[in-house]
Structure 1
Amino acid sequence: MSSKLSHKDSGQLIESAARILAVAKQKGADAADVVVSEGASNSVSVREGKRENAQASENRGFSLRVFSGAKVASVSTNTDDDVETLVDRALAMARVSPEDPFASLADPDRLARAVPDLDLYDPTEVSTEMLAARALAAEEAALSVEGVTRSSGAGAAHGEVAFALVTSDGFAGGYRRSYSSTSVSVVAGEGAGMQRDHDSDARSHDGDLRPAAEIGREAGERAVARLSPRQLETRKGAAVLFEAKQARSLLGHLAGAISGSAVARKTSFLRDRLGKQVLKAGVNVIDDPSILRGAGSQPFDGEGVESRRLAMVEDGVLQQWFLSTALGRELGFETNGRGTRSGNSLSASPTNLSLEPGAKSPEELMREIGTGLYVTELIGHGVNMVTGEYSRGASGFWIENGEIAYPVSQVTIAGNLRDMFLSMTPATDLDRLYSIAAPSILVEGLTLAGR
Structure 2
Amino acid sequence: MTGASSDLQALTRALLDAARAAGASEADAMAVEGESLSVNVLGGALEHAERAQGVEIGLRVLIGGRQASVSASEVSERTIAEMAARAVAMAREAPVDDSLGLADPDQLAGTTDMARGLELDDDRPPPAPPELLDRALRAEAAALAVAGISMVESASAAVSHRRLWLAATNGFSGGYGRSGHSLSAVAITGEGLGMERDWAGESRVWAADLPPPEEIGRRAGERTVARRGARKPPTGAFPILYDERVASSLIGHLLSAVNGAAVARGASWLRDALDQPVLPPGLDLTEDPLLPRYPASRPFDAEGLATRARAIVADGVLQGWTLDLATGRKLGMASTASAVRGISSAPSPGVSNVTLSPGNATPQALVRDMGRGLVVTSMLGASVNPTTGDYSRGAAGFWVENGQIAYAVNECTIAGNLRDMLMRMVAADDLPEWRPHRVPSLLVEGMTVAGD
- TM-score over 0.5 for the pair: yes
Q: Which deviates more, 9-18 or 327-336?
A: 9-18
1:79 is aligned to 2:53:
no
Equivalent in the alignment of 1:338: 338
Q: Which deviates more, 390-399 or 31-40?
A: 390-399
Q: Identical aligned pairs, as a percentage?
A: 43
1:385 is aligned to 2:382:
no
Equivalent in the alignment of 2:309: 309
Question: Does the CA-based 8 Å contact 2:126-2:159 persist in structure 1?
Answer: no
Equivalent in the alignment of 2:142: 141
1:96 is aligned to 2:97:
no
Aligned partner of residue 148 in structure 1, secondary structure: coil
Residue type of the alignment partner of 1:159: S
Q: CA deviation at 1:15?
A: 2.8
Equivalent in the alignment of 1:12: 7
Question: Does the CA-based 8 Å contact 1:13-1:164 persist in structure 2?
Answer: yes
Q: CA deviation at 1:172?
A: 0.9
Equivalent in the alignment of 2:275: 275
Equivalent in the alignment of 1:183: 184
* Distance of 1:357 and 1:163 partners within structure 2: 34
Equivalent in the alignment of 2:106: 109
Q: CA deviation at 1:427?
A: 1.1
Alignment of 1:32-431 (within 5 A): 32-82=27-77, 83-115=80-112, 116=114, 117=116, 118-123=118-123, 124-236=125-237, 238-342=238-342, 343-431=344-432
Question: Does the CA-based 8 Å contact 1:31-1:105 persist in structure 2?
Answer: yes
Q: CA RMSD in A?
A: 1.7
* Distance of 2:141 and 2:257 partners within structure 1: 41
| Count of aligned pairs between the two proteins | 444
Q: CA deviation at 1:166?
A: 0.9
Residue type of the alignment partner of 2:322: F
Equivalent in the alignment of 1:4: none
Residue type of the alignment partner of 2:360: A
* Distance of 1:389 and 1:99 partners within structure 2: 34
Change in 2 beyond 3 A, CA 1:393/1:65: closer
Residue type of the alignment partner of 1:318: L
Aligned partner of residue 255 in structure 1, secondary structure: helix
**Cα deviation per residue 1:70-110 (whole Å; 9 max; x = unaligned)?**
23222222233123333233333333333221110013222
Residue type of the alignment partner of 1:104: G
Question: Does the CA-based 8 Å contact 1:203-1:209 persist in structure 2?
Answer: yes
* Distance of 2:332 and 2:100 partners within structure 1: 13
Residue type of the alignment partner of 2:277: Q
Residue type of the alignment partner of 2:284: N
Q: CA deviation at 1:390?
A: 1.5
Question: Does the CA-based 8 Å contact 1:354-1:432 persist in structure 2?
Answer: no
* Distance of 1:25 and 1:394 partners within structure 2: 52
* Distance of 1:321 and 1:61 partners within structure 2: 31
* Distance of 1:77 and 1:403 partners within structure 2: 55
**Cα deviation per residue 1:263-282 (whole Å; 9 max; x = unaligned)?**
22232211221221111111
Q: Which deviates more, 101-110 or 9-18?
A: 9-18
Structure 2: segments with no counterpart, 5+ residues: none
* Distance of 1:234 and 1:27 partners within structure 2: 63
**Cα deviation per residue 1:251-304 (whole Å; 9 max; x = unaligned)?**
111121111112222322112212211111111111110011112111000000
* Distance of 1:416 and 1:70 partners within structure 2: 38
